[in-house]
Structures are given as structure tokens and as C-alpha cells.
Amino acid sequence: MAVLIDEPIWWHKGRRWSHLASDHSYAELHDFAERAGLPRRGFHGDHYDVPEEWFDALVGAGATLTSSRELLVRLRANGLRVSPAQRRAER
């Protein structure tokens, strides 16, 4: 059970972003994010989008650095991955 974060390599609107996810439960993820001060609007179905300037603080708070590929593998393996089609349907 871990809260995972990938490197901030994803460009969007002139900033680099990371993904923060749990390989255990959404409750674990939301609890970690709330304690870290992340706004709930950053949650996107199965992960939080995290701007680069938050990266060091989240790792310092206990998020485990992993590759983007490994983050996806662990979400899928634990039945926590929400597909892009599912996210669109929720809107």
C-alpha cells in the first residue's frame, strides 16, 4: 500500500505536472492529498494532477517516487484505474 508519484514531466499550460495515486484505495489517496493541502479539484478519476512546485513536498510527506508506467501498472493491478472513457462519462 503506497501513495505513488511520478516525475513532473507532463507539460500543460506552460507548467510541468506529476500524477499522485494510491495503489490501495481512493480513500488513502484523498486522505494523503488532504493532509498535504492539495485541492480536491486536482482529482481526475483515479489520480491527482500535481504541479511541479508541489513535487518535493509530496515526496517529503511520504509519496513514493515511481515511473509513470509503474504507476499505471499498479493502478490496473489493483482495479483502481479509471479509463479516459469512464472519466468523460462522469462529466
Task: Give 37-75 pLDDT, tens digit per residue.
Answer: 999 999 998 999 999 999 999 999 999 999 999 999 999
Average pLDDT over residues 21-30: 95
Residue ranges of E strands in the chain: 3-5, 10-12, 15-22, 48-51, 64-65
Residue scoring higher pLDDT (87 or 67):
67
- What's the confidence (pLDDT) of residue 79? 82
